[in-house]
Structure 1
Amino acid sequence: MPEATLQRYARVFEELAPERLEDLAALVDEDVRFVDPFNDLSGREAFLEVFRDMFRRLQQPAFAVSDVALGREAGYLRWSMTFRGKPGGRLWQIDGLSELRFAEDGRVVAHIDHWDSGAQFYGKLPGLGWLIERVRRRVGH
């Protein structure tokens, strides 16, 4: 059952739009836990609010899933997210991996995003990016 959920989840994730959030909600447990570099929360409503907020704040957010794998303990989606921060603004791309854990009934009980927020987000912000690069050079080999 997790394999079927994983494949459906990947499809819904790639087609994610405000009107498709209920399709995503149907695949997750009521007490789903969501973790990414900015959030650590539980509950279906809080989970959906992360995506509602994404659609309110970002321009043209989209996910492209490039790989799907099912392990013994979890499923994994490798993805790229693109968006613009404001109309006509620069195009951002974030590459990451979502780790999905499943309940016995196949629904997702944990969605944990792994991506490098330092290099892919904070490091690209004016001013802060310069500082992060300087620190990287000092501690790097």
Structure 2
Amino acid sequence: MGHAHFVDPFNNVRGVAPIQAIFRHMFTQLEAPRFAVTERFVRRTQVVLIWTLHCRLAGQPVAIAGASHLRLNAAGRVCMHRDFWDAANEVYEKLPLIG
């Protein structure tokens, strides 16, 4: 069984522990993060999720639109997770002093 692989605009890691660390960091840096999946497409061992991340950054409500492409292994577990979203438009533009 291969290692899980996670890719997003800021990360490209392999292994469960590094992936857990990324999500742990996200949940400590963002206020009240919540993913709302609005659409999903499933084809055999691949899944695409269309989502919006709702949270607060610097006390301001933010909604970040994105999509995730998942690949499943023979056991039906996620072995690859790649997130697609525009960091410049979705995050940097909304931060005080940066946007």
Q: Is 1:103 aligned with 2:73?
A: yes
- Relative to the length of structure 2, the TM-score reads 0.88
CA contact (8 A) 1:33 1:111 kept: yes
1:1-141 map, 5 Å? 31-71=3-43, 74-86=46-58, 89-129=59-99
Q: Secondary structure at the match of 1:31?
A: coil
Q: Which amino acid aligns with 2:36?
A: A
Kindly indicate which of the two structures has a greater share of residues assigned to strand. Answer: 2
- Mapped to 2, the partners of 1:123 and 1:60 lie a distance apart of 20
TM superposition shift of 1:124: 2.4
Aligned residues: 99
My pick for the range that moved more, 117-126 or 38-47, is: 117-126
Q: Cα 1:116–1:46, aligned 2, differ >3 Å: closer, same or farther?
A: same
Measured on the aligned residues, the alpha-carbon RMSD in Å equals: 1.8
Higher helix content, 1 or 2: 1
Give the distance between the partners of 1:46 and 1:100, measured in 2 at CA.
17
Aligned partners of 2:55 and 2:61 also within 8 Å: yes
* CA distances 1:43-98 after superposition (whole Å, capped 9, x unpaired): 01111111111121111000011111113562111110011124xx1011101000
| Structure 2, unaligned runs of 5 or more | none
What amino acid maps onto 2:57 in structure 1? Answer: G
Q: Where does structure 1 lack aligned partners over 5 or more consecutive residues?
A: 1-28, 130-141
User: How many percent of aligned residue pairs carry the same amino acid?
Assistant: 38
Paired letter, 1:80: T
Structure 1 segments of 4 or more deviating over 2 A? 123-129
